[in-house]
Amino acid sequence: MRKYNFYAGPSTLPVEVLEELKETMVDYKGIGMSLIETSHRSKDYEEVHNEAVSLVSELLGLPDNYKVVFLGGGATLQFTMVPANLMIGSKTADYVLSGTWAVSAYKDACKLGNAVAVYDGKANNYTELPSSVKTSGDSSYLHITSNETIGGLQWQNWPDTGSIPLVADMSSDILSRTIPVEKFGLIYAGAQKNLGPAGATLVIIREDLLERSSDNLTAYLNYAIHADKNSLYNTPPVFSIYATMLVLRRMKALGGLGAVEKTNRQKAALVYEAIDQSGGFYKCPVQLENRSMMNIVFTMKDENLENEFIKKATAEGMVGLKGHRSVGGCRASVYNSMPIEGAKALADFMKDFAAGK
């Protein structure tokens, strides 16, 4: 029986997409081989590749001056590539430290230039986002993490950065809601949460920023090369891009980003309601207005109780509810591909579990 999979990533995929991957695995549309065996320069793969690129553009409503690129190496490699490409000479690069992932991005940027932490949530244990951000003046860019997968925080109002490019790590909430794309200079996201299987990383970049990619950069680290070659400078992660294309195609069929966001809000509301109406049995440490729609973190009075909760939930077919090992507690990741029935089942289970104590 299929489980409800609340893993934080890699994470649940639509079962229809898995069925299609299964169907095409040995022979892709009668071509006598799998898509993963064809050249990345073949017509069959290029169609898939270009459809993935177009669907990203269409679903997000990207203006013409944005390029869509698929890379490997995960968001972690982007912690290198963003400063390596976008930092300008001695100018600063501003980072909002909102949790584990933002701090990781910042640490890499510090190794490459003058990175500045314009906000650090350490004092509140990374449970709050700043209500506004003051950039350090004439900086190269401002980096934020739109959703902290571990901490369970999510930006609801985007900071106003004027002419300073806003860069966002959207690994855990890409394409989960509509966004004012024109506010962003660069967006990146590992595939394995809202897009598809691990292996690909999506980068969306405003064309004028490509001019910052220096010729002194080595080839793979250079955004301008990948954008110029339509992500075919070297062999792309074919399977992950193919599966992502199928996920995006399904999102479009479901009605696009607006429809997906509506369901995501309903799913999150179900689980947060179970927390908020538990009379303190479940506690979400995150400031109310910064709560994530994607990663819902909660604790109980002690670890024994949390372990019992996780064990019983697993027995009832709900897996992946353990919080990240660095923070403990529980975490329900309800990405795009988690059906609303999964969120309902979890909310009901939470109510029953609390009532039984």
Is residue 221 involved in binding a copy of itself (CB under 8 A)? Answer: yes
Pick from 219, 288, 315, 355 the residue near a copy of itself by CB under 8 A: 219
Q: Which is nearer to a copy of itself, 158 or 233 (CB)?
A: 233
Question: Token pair for residue 340?
Answer: 């609303």
Name which of residues 104 to 133 contact a copy of itself (CB under 8 A). Answer: 104, 107-108, 111-112
For residue 115, the SS3 value is strand
Size of the chain, expressed as the number of residues it contains: 357
Q: Which residues contact 31 (CB under 8 A, 6 or more apart)?
A: 38, 44
Is residue 247 involved in binding a copy of itself (CB under 8 A)? Answer: no
Q: Give least dist CB 72 to a copy of itself, A.
A: 4
Q: Which is nearer to a copy of itself, 57 or 80 (CB)?
A: 80
215-220: long-range pairs with CB below 8 Å, 24+: 217/84, 217/85
Q: Which is nearer to a copy of itself, 89 or 356 (CB)?
A: 89
First to last CA, the chain: 29
At position 132, the amino acid (one-letter code) is S
352 a catalytic residue? no
- DSSP codes of every residue in 128-188: ---SS----SS-S-EEEESEETTTTEE-SSPPP-TTSPEEEE-TTTTTSS---GGGEEEEE
* Region from 1-9, 258-266, 287-295, 302-310 binding a copy of itself, contact rule CB under 8 A: 1-9
Q: Give least dist CB 3 to a copy of itself, A.
A: 3
Give the CA count within 13 Å in the CB-facing half-sphere of 209: 29
Name which of residues 67 to 96 contact a copy of itself (CB under 8 A). Answer: 71-77, 79-80
Cβ neighbourhood burial of 69 (10 Å; 0-12, 13-18, 19+): buried
Pick from 181, 269, 319, 327 the residue near a copy of itself by CB under 8 A: 319
Catalytic residue among 101, 108, 267, 322: 101
Catalytic residue among 94, 108, 155, 169: 169
Name which of residues 37 to 66 contact a copy of itself (CB under 8 A). Answer: 37-42
Pick from 68, 87, 93, 238 the residue near a copy of itself by CB under 8 A: 238
| Residue 10 preceded by cis peptide, ω within 30 | yes
Give the distance from CA 64 to its chain's centroid: 23
Q: Which is nearer to a copy of itself, 145 or 161 (CB)?
A: 145
Question: Token pair for residue 147?
Answer: 């959703």
Residues that bind a copy of itself (CB under 8 A): 1-3, 5, 7-13, 15, 18-19, 21-22, 25-27, 31-34, 36-42, 71-77, 79-80, 104, 107-108, 111-112, 190, 192, 197-200, 216-221, 233-240, 243, 317, 319-320, 325
Residues identified as active-site: 101, 169, 193
